[in-house]
């Protein structure tokens, strides 16, 4: 099957300059690995990823539930890695257009991506460029002549090409390893046009670049808050699960699952933050497979939906409403367990308890109620 437009992400580098043992393409920015952000930026466009030898487990872990069209092992230079990727695409039927991108530029704005694809309707190649803001000069020990910066641009990626044109360019190239693909396309006689690039596309090379990317990204997040409520009936002689912890009590909660009202209320609050319905939408009580299910499965599912949207769980505040048992002795254990399920620090979880002064069903000990408020940060355009 021939692809229409396909993306080729080169992530084969070892990334030592960014520091640490983990190659930079696998390091998270605001919770999402660099390479996963690069893949996400292409939306519905099929992506081939070129990785270094021995990085298959790393890339699978970083991509999580994302699917890519192909994972290709890179070569000894960037140029060889790109060529391996192009050959893999050709082996899968080829493509009309290809966007060749560096994983180290994970924050690709949609308008740059779309402008590149449009440019290929009339041209063989297109690259995003940004003006040079600083004064540029020659220097050898002492400062030399100033170079006219108005004639200069910084060239970013993705670099977009008609597939056949860039394949031919790679086959014809005989010089030293090229630093980018546009250089090879031009050498082969193809015209490469420019589209406006974006500062968000600047390469992540040094540790400070991660802080810059996180700061830029943080400004693009919006905060969402939503509530959840649940209650379940108390029955004698059943185990009591509350906040993911088994609590010693004469009565336990009855329901289709383990009836953990606290986890159910938190699950609904988190689902509410992403407008994803409620716990019953995802785990219908009519479905026998959830009979007696441990409720951490529900909460973990809500967490995974937030992660899939690139979100961050900021805070959860839970109030348990019951006459008995006493919550105090279990508060720390519940906090730790909920934090563990949500994969956040315990300082992001608050647990409170109240009685209803013996009034109503909770006051009479017929049941336990729980309400939760969750705050989640999400990328602006989600
Ligand atoms: Mg419930």
CA of 189 to the centre of ligand 1 (A): 66
**Distance in angstroms (rounded) separating the CA atoms of residues 246 and 254:** 14
pLDDT at residue 38, rounded to an integer: 95
Structure tokens at 366: 């017929």
Q: Please, is 278 exposed, middle or buried when counting C-beta atoms within 10 Å of its C-beta (0-12, 13-18, 19+)?
A: middle
CA distance 161 to 259: 56
Neighbours of ion ligand 1 (CB under 5 A): 230, 264
User: Long-range contacts of range 135-140, CB-CB < 8 Å, 24 or more positions apart?
Assistant: none
* pTM metric for this prediction: 0.65
> Ligand 1 centroid vs 343 CA: distance in angstroms?
22
Cis peptide before 373 (omega within 30 of 0): no
Going from the Cα of 31 to the center of ligand 1, the distance in angstroms, rounded, reads 30
Angle between helices 296-308 and 261-273 (to 10 degrees): 10
Q: What is the C-alpha separation between 75 and 50, in angstroms, rounded?
A: 9
Cβ partners under 8 Å of residue 212, min gap 6:
202
Tell me, in angstroms, the distance from the centre of ligand 1 to residue 109's CA: 41
Using the mean position of ligand 1's atoms as its centre, give its distance from the Cα of residue 265 in Å: 7
| Neighbour-count burial of 78, counting CB atoms closer than 10 A to its CB (0-12 exposed, 13-18 middle, 19+ buried) | buried
- Those residues of the chain that have pLDDT short of 50 are 17-18, 382
What is the Å distance from ligand 1's center to 264 Cα? 5
206 contacts: CB under 8 Å, gap ≥ 6? 17, 18, 19
Give 256 Cα–ligand 1 centroid separation in angstroms. 8
Q: Which own/partner pairs from 182-185 qualify as long-range (CB within 8 Å, at least 24 positions apart)?
A: 182/125, 182/127, 182/155, 184/79, 185/124, 185/125, 185/161
Q: Considering all CA atoms of the chain, what is the largest pairwise distance in Å, rounded to the nearest integer?
A: 88
Residue 12: per-residue pLDDT: 87
Instruction: Identify whether the C-beta of residue 34 lies closer than 8 Å to the C-beta of residue 27.
Output: yes
CA angle at residue 29 from 86 to 310, to 5 degrees?
85
């Amino acid at each position: 099957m021939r692809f229409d437009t396909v993306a080729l992400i080169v992530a084969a580098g070892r990334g030592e300059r960014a520091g640490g043992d983990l190659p930079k393409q696998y390091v998270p920015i605001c919770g999402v690995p660099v390479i996963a952000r690069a893949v996400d930026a292409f939306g519905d466009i099929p992506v081939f990823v070129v990785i270094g030898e021995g990085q298959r487990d790393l890339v699978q872990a970083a991509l999580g539930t994302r699917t890519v069209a192909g994972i290709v092992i890179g070569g000894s230079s960037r140029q060889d890695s790109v060529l391996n990727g192009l050959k893999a695409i050709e082996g899968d039927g080829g493509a009309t257009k290809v966007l060749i991108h560096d994983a180290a530029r994970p924050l690709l704005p949609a308008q740059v991506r779309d402008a590149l694809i449009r440019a290929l309707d009339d041209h063989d190649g297109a690259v995003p460029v940004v003006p040079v803001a600083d004064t540029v000069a020659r220097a050898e020990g002492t400062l030399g002549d100033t170079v006219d910066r108005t004639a200069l641009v910084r060239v970013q990626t993705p670099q977009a090409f008609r597939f056949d044109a860039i394949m031919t360019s790679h086959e014809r190239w005989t010089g030293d390893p090229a630093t980018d693909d546009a250089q090879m396309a031009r050498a082969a006689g193809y015209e490469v046009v420019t589209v406006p690039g974006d500062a968000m596309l600047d390469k992540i090379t040094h540790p400070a670049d991660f802080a810059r990317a996180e700061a830029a990204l943080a400004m693009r997040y919006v905060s969402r808050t939503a509530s959840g409520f649940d209650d379940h009936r108390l029955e004698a002689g059943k185990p009591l699960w509350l906040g993911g912890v088994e609590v010693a009590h004469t009565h336990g909660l009855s329901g289709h699952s383990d009836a953990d009202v606290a986890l159910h209320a938190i699950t609904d609050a988190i689902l509410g933050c992403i407008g994803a319905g409620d716990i019953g939408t995802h785990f219908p009580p009519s479905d026998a497979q959830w009979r007696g299910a441990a409720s951490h499965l529900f909460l973990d599912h809500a967490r995974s939906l937030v992660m899939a949207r690139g979100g961050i769980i900021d805070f959860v505040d839970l109030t348990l409403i019951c006459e008995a048992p006493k919550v105090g002795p279990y508060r720390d254990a519940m906090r730790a367990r909920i934090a563990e399920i949500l994969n956040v620090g315990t300082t992001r979880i608050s647990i409170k308890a109240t009685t209803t002064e013996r009034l109503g069903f909770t006051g009479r000990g017929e049941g336990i109620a729980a309400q939760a408020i969750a705050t989640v940060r999400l990328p602006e355009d989600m």
